[in-house]
């Protein structure tokens, strides 16, 4: 849609696209400090063709686009591109163009689209549920996103952190062509993991390894000066042509702000948070970082997709796309920007990043087109042999990518429209801080809702020295808001509490009731890195998928996953929050209200 508007109204469309910035005012970042930081970040000299100009070199003001030769105001880039964007770019089928761009028309358009979704869901639901298949009910989602058919017999639900670690090492040692590891960070104690990578590289000359983690967390040093960078740097030195280490840096933390905020505190601004493991055509999606506590006594979720070639290719391509906009680790611990520096030129960085990700998403929508149902027959399936599909949902609001935020409401509406079928919605988050919009969806849900979060004792910051020791109180405050303010009488809040363990799992499950056995079986789940909170939606880079399955065996395995999490839980009530140790200090309440999106 955006490309159509630009083509019709602006002659120099390429220059215009390169100048669009919808989140931050045009600041003169080129005159900011050029001082090298402790990691020797090398500045980028912008060439003349990188400068932004439209017609007479005037800069397009923030939050504006050009339509019908007039400059109009719009709330975000995604208002134009999120609805039907990729399908329009691929099949060019009746693109809708907003004529005057006023707020009333935008709202009318959104309301019309919602009504169309609800009407379609209602029409097809009864037919498909009688056929014991739910995949076609999610057509409003997979018609607008990349979609993958996966072999349900090769999906493994990993339940224990030790098994997750062993699976990672197994995939590294068995890989012949490619290994990808992405996480917030790699723990400085993970010498064994680095040695496993070294062993695989030394034994297989055709193996290539890509490692991607967050720049702020990955360069945070211990008292002895160690960090994720110092841990993996020897791999780059030993195998410079086959190992790529990249560190993503948020454009929100510019150099002046970075000089003011010390290490650790600067991480509140935004982080790379996606957790992906690839070994050739096998994929693991998880919520766990690559550190010892996550492999021993920190409960999370981990799902292995064996032989998932296309899905693995998607996440491999995603990792490569993100590395191209991240710092590259060179020998001697030097970090080199791959393009515009996010700390000194965040405007150009955002433009470059959005263009790369937009191209990635558009290409993958086209590549998965053969699987998608393009005809108008509403009662056709993706394929006769398809019993499990996976739909990626990325969330990178700082880069204008908001798939998770865009699709969550549709997913919840589909489930709620069929509440006679789906009896339970189960949600878990290690850091419970739901957005207002998500809380409203849960309050309106007709199915029973169970929420599982970490008890204060299961929060990794519990009894930490200094300011971080108050973080469990922050999440208790959020938890109590959900518990006290809900209007859904069928909503329950559970806490994970297990001696010696912390809790970090995240996910959503929708379960139906088996008529023969009476057991609840989940056939819809969301898994990945998102915590369903304000921070996930607004600040961090997240990667997750929607998995829908008609396979009964897989449904039972997913049900066991829920049971495994519930083994160490208690249901909270008013008495829970009335205990002395649950009282929230006033300063914590004030800080929490002021900086909600940072938790």
Paired strand residues for 547: 390, 525
Nearest to 406 by CA among 20, 91, 145: 145
CA triplet 58, 63, 67: central angle to 5 degrees?
70
* Catalytic residue flag (residue 273): yes
The DSSP secondary structure of 94-141, one letter per residue, reads S----SS--HHHHHHHHHHHHHHHHHHHHHHHHHHHHTT--GGGGHHH
* CB 83 within 8 Å of CB 376: no
**Catalytic residue from among 273, 494, 506, 538:** 273
561 CB-side CA count, 13 A: 32
**Catalytic residue from among 74, 106, 151, 280:** 280
* Catalytic residue flag (residue 275): yes
* CB 279 within 8 Å of CB 197: no
In angstroms, the first-to-last Cα distance of the chain is 34
243 Cα distance to chain centroid: 25
**Catalytic residue from among 139, 275, 504, 538:** 275
* CB 527 within 8 Å of CB 317: no
> To which residue do tokens 């809790």 refer?
503
* CB 474 within 8 Å of CB 432: no
514 Cα distance to chain centroid: 32
Question: Dihedrals φ, ψ of 301, to 5°?
Answer: -115, 145
473 Cα distance to chain centroid: 25
93 Cα distance to chain centroid: 29
CA 237, 249, 220, 165 dihedral sign is negative
* CB 84 within 8 Å of CB 1: yes
* CB 81 within 8 Å of CB 37: no
Active site residues: 273, 275, 280
């Amino acid at each position: 849609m955006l490309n159509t508007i630009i083509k019709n109204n602006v002659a120099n469309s390429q220059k215009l696209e390169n100048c669009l910035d919808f989140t931050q005012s045009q600041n003169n970042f080129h005159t900011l400090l050029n001082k090298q930081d402790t990691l020797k970040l090398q500045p980028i000299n912008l060439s003349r063709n990188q400068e932004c100009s439209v017609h007479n070199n005037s800069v397009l003001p923030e939050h504006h686009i050009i339509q019908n030769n007039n400059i109009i105001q719009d709330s975000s880039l995604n208002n134009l591109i999120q609805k039907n964007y990729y399908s329009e770019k691929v099949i060019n089928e009746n693109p809708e163009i907003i004529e005057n761009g006023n707020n009333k028309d935008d709202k009318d358009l959104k309301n019309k689209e919602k009504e169309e979704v609800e009407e379609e869901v209602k029409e097809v639901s009864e037919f498909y549920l009688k056929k014991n298949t739910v995949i076609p009910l999610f057509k409003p989602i997979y018609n607008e996103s990349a979609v993958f058919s996966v072999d349900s017999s090769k999906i493994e639900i990993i339940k224990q952190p030790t098994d997750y670690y062993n699976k990672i090492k197994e995939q590294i040692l068995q890989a012949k062509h490619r290994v990808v590891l992405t996480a917030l960070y790699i723990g400085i104690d993970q010498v064994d993991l680095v040695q496993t990578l070294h062993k695989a590289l030394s034994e297989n000359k055709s193996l290539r390894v890509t490692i991607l983690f967050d720049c702020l967390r990955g360069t945070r040093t211990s008292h002895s000066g160690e960090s994720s960078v110092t841990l993996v740097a020897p791999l780059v030195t030993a195998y410079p042509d086959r190992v790529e280490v990249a560190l993503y840096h948020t454009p929100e933390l510019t150099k002046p702000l970075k000089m003011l905020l010390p290490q650790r505190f600067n991480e509140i601004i935004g982080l790379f948070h996606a957790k992906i493991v690839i070994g050739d055509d096998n994929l693991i999606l998880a919520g766990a970082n690559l550190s010892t506590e996550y492999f021993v006594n920190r409960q999370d979720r981990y799902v292995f997709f064996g032989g998932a070639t296309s899905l693995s290719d998607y996440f491999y391509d995603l990792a490569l796309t993100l590395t191209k906009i991240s710092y590259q680790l060179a020998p001697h611990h030097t970090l080199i920007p791959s393009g515009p520096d996010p700390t000194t030129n965040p405007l150009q960085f955002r433009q470059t990043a959005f263009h790369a990700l937009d191209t990635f998403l558009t290409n993958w929508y086209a590549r998965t087109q053969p699987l998608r149902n393009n005809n108008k027959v509403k009662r056709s399936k993706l394929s006769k042999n398809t019993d499990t599909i996976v739909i990626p949902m990325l969330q990178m609001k700082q880069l204008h990518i908001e798939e998770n935020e865009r699709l969550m409401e549709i997913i919840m509406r589909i489930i709620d429209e069929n509440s006679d079928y789906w009896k339970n919605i189960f949600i878990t988050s290690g850091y419970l801080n739901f957005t207002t919009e998500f809380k409203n969806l849960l309050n309106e849900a007709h199915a029973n809702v169970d929420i599982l979060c970490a008890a204060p004792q299961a929060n990794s910051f519990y009894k930490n020295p200094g300011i971080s020791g108050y973080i469990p109180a922050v999440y208790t405050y959020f938890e109590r808001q959900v518990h006290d303010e809900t209007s859904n009488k069928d909503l329950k809040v559970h806490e994970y509490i297990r001696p010696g363990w912390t809790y970090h799992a995240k996910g959503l499950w929708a379960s139906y009731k088996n008529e023969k056995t009476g057991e609840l079986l989940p056939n819809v789940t969301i898994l990945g890195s998102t915590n369903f909170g304000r921070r996930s939606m607004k600040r961090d880079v997240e990667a997750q998928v929607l998995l829908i399955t008609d396979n009964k065996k897989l449904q039972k395995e997913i049900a066991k996953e829920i049971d495994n999490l519930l083994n160490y839980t208690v249901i909270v009530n008013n008495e829970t929050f009335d205990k002395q140790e649950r009282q929230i200090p006033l300063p914590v309440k004030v800080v929490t209200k002021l900086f909600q999106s940072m938790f």
